[in-house]
C-alpha cells in the first residue's frame, strides 16, 4: 500500500485533479490512499468567512460563500457522467448549505470560537475530496471515498488538535486496511474529538494526515505531490538557480521544514521515522521527474539546502538576576509554555536571553508576564535563515565561509543547532534575499560543489 498526498495547488482545477487521479490510477496495484487538501484558495476563503461573519460583515461573508459554491460547482460541472455529476453537485450544495448555517450562527453572536472555526474550515477538504472521488469514478476507477474524521482521532485543542496516535492507528487499520486495487480517497487536515466534534490539525495538517495513514498501514512509501520538483536547495523565487536535492535524510528534511521550507511539515516526518517509511516529494505537473526521496541511509555531508522563515519576532529579556542564577531560564520558558508559544532559536549572555518566535498570538500578554522577570524588548519584522546539512557546525571551514560571505549584513542572532544539522541566524526581513543569494552562490553556484548523495539503504 502507498499513500499519495496532494496539496491545494495540485487539485486547484479539474485539469490538476485529472493529473492527480492519473498518478493514483497508475499505482492501483499498490492499493493507493489519496489524501487531499482543499482546492486552491478555498481554505483562505473559509478563513475569511470566519472573520467576516464574526464582524457582522454579511456582504463579505456572502461573497466568500458564493465564490466557494461557484468554483466547486464549476469544477464538478466538467464531470462527464450525468449521474455522477448530479450526485456530486447535490453533495456540494448540501455542504455549502451547512456552511451557510454555521456562518449565519457566527454572524448572529458575532463571535467564532475555535470549535466553530474548525467546523467551518473542514469543508474545504470535504468538498475537494467529493469532487476528486466523483472524477475518479467518472473515469471508471474503482473508488471509495472515506471520512477521515472516522479514524483521525484527536483531543479538543481546536485549530491545532493533537492526535491520539494509538487510537488513530487502530481506527485507520480498521477502516482502510482491507482494500485491493481500489483507490481510497481521504481528507487531510481534519479529525474528530472523543465527543465526535470536528477538529483540525493546524498548519501542515494534510501532510501529517498522510504520514499517519502511511505509518498505520505500514505503507511502502508516502508521496507528497506539490507544484515544485521536490525539496530545492532554496526557494527558487529567491534564487532562480536553485536545484532539486534528490536524496535527503529524515533529520535534514525535518530541520528544513521547521525552519521554513514549505514542501514538507515537521510532523510529516515523525510518523515516517517511527516506521522507517521513505517519503517522496514530487511535482504533480511533472510526474516523470525524480523529485526528492527522504529516507535513512543518506550520508552526504556539508550544506545541503537553505531555508527561510519570515514574520519572526525576537524577544529579549534582560535582567541582572540572571547572573549566576539557578533556574532563571526555566522561569522564562515556563511563561512561553503557559501561552503555548514555541521558541525557534535561543541565545544567552550573562544578563540577557533572546528568543525568536513565529507566533504572535497573545504577544501582549506574553510581554506582560515576562516583564515580571526583567526588561522585555520585542523586535518585529525579522527572519530566520538556516543552512541545513549533516555535521554542518562541526566543520570550522563551513562556518568561516558563512560569516565571510555575509560580511556587512547585520546578524541579530546565531544558533548552532543541537541536532548537528543546522546553522541558523536571524536577520532583518529586508536582508533575506541578499543573505540567501550570497549563501547559495557560495555553497551551490560558485564552484558547483553540491554535496554528492551517498545512499546506503532505503528500508
Mind listing the pLDDT tens digit for each residue in 272-330? 888 999 999 999 999 999 899 988 767 677 899 999 999 999 999 999 888 777 888 99
Residues of the chain short of pLDDT 50, as ranges, are 455-459
Whole-angstrom Cα distance, residue 36 to residue 17? 10
3-state secondary structure of 19: helix
The values of phi and psi at residue 90, to 5°, are -65, -40
Whole-angstrom Cα distance, residue 222 to residue 5? 8
pLDDT at res. 302:
85
3-state secondary structure of 288: coil
pLDDT at res. 417:
67
Tally Cβ neighbours within 10 Å of residue 377.
13
Q: Classify domain 2-227 at the CATH topology level.
A: Carbamate kinase (3.40.1160)
Bridge partners (DSSP) of residue 29 are: none
Where does CATH 3.30.2130.10 sit in the chain? 305-445
Where does CATH 3.40.1160.10 sit in the chain? 2-227
What is the CATH architecture assignment of 305-445? 2-Layer Sandwich (3.30)
- Going through 2-83 in order, the beta strands assigned E by DSSP cover 2-6, 32-36
Model confidence, pTM: 0.85
pLDDT at res. 458:
42
8 Å CB contact between 359 and 311: no
**DSSP 8-state secondary structure symbol assigned to residue 278:** -
Amino acid at each position: 500500500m502507498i499513500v499519495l498526498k496532494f496539496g491545494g495547488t495540485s487539485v486547484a482545477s479539474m485539469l490538476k485533479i485529472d493529473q492527480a487521479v492519473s498518478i493514483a490510477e497508475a499505482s492501483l496495484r499498490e492499493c493507493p490512499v489519496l489524501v487531499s487538501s482543499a482546492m486552491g484558495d478555498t481554505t483562505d476563503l473559509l478563513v475569511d468567512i470566519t472573520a467576516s461573519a464574526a464582524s457582522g460583515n454579511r456582504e463579505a461573508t456572502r461573497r466568500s460563500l458564493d465564490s466557494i459554491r461557484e468554483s466547486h460547482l464549476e469544477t464538478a460541472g466538467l464531470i462527464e457522467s450525468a449521474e455522477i455529476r448530479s450526485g456530486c453537485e447535490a453533495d456540494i450544495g448540501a455542504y455549502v448549505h451547512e456552511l451557510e448555517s454555521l456562518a449565519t450562527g457566527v454572524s448572529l453572536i458575532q463571535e467564532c470560537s475555535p470549535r466553530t472555526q474548525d467546523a467551518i474550515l473542514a469543508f474545504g477538504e470535504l468538498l475537494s475530496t467529493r469532487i476528486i472521488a466523483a472524477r475518479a469514478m467518472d473515469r471508471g476507477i474503482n473508488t471509495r471515498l472515506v471520512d477521515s474524521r472516522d479514524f483521525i482521532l484527536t483531543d479538543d485543542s481546536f485549530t491545532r488538535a493533537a492526535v491520539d496516535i494509538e487510537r488513530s492507528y487502530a481506527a485507520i487499520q480498521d477502516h482502510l486496511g482491507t482494500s485491493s486495487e481500489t483507490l481510497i480517497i481521504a481528507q487531510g487536515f481534519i479529525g474528530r474529538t472523543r465527543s465526535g466534534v470536528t477538529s483540525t490539525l493546524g498548519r501542515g495538517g494534510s501532510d501529517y494526515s498522510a504520514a499517519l495513514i502511511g505509518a498505520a498501514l505500514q505503507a511502502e512509501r508516502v508521496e507528497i505531490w506539490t507544484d515544485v520538483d521536490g525539496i530545492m536547495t532554496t526557494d527558487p523565487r529567491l534564487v532562480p538557480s536553485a536545484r532539486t536535492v534528490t536524496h535527503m535524510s529524515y533529520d535534514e528534511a525535518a530541520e528544513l521544514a521547521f525552519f521554513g521550507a514549505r514542501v514538507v511539515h515537521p510532523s510529516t516526518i515523525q510518523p515516517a521515522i517511527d516506521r522507517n517509511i521513505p517519503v517522496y516529494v514530487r511535482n504533480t505537473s511533472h510526474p516523470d521527474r525524480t523529485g526528492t526521496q527522504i529516507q535513512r541511509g543518506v550520508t552526504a555531508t556539508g550544506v545541503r539546502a537553505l531555508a527561510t522563515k519570515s514574520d519572526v519576532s525576537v524577544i529579549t529579556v534582560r535582567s541582572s538576576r540572571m547572573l549566576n542564577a539557578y533556574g532563571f531560564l526555566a522561569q522564562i520558558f515556563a511563561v512561553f509554555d503557559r501561552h503555548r508559544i514555541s521558541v525557534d532559536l535561543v541565545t544567552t549572555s550573562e544578563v540577557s536571553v533572546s528568543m525568536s518566535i513565529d507566533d504572535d498570538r497573545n504577544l501582549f500578554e506574553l510581554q506582560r508576564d515576562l516583564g515580571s522577570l526583567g526588561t522585555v524588548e520585542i523586535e518585529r519584522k525579522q527572519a530566520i535563515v538556516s543552512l541545513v546539512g549533516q555535521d554542518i557546525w562541526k566543520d570550522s571551514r563551513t562556518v568561516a565561509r558563512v560569516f565571510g560571505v555575509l560580511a556587512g549584513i547585520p546578524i541579530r542572532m546565531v544558533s548552532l543547532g543541537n541536532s548537528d544539522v543546522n546553522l541558523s541566524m536571524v536577520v532583518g526581513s529586508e536582508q533575506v534575499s541578499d543573505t540567501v543569494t550570497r549563501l547559495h552562490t557560495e555553497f551551490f553556484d560558485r564552484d558547483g560543489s553540491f554535496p554528492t548523495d551517498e545512499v546506503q539503504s532505503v528500508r
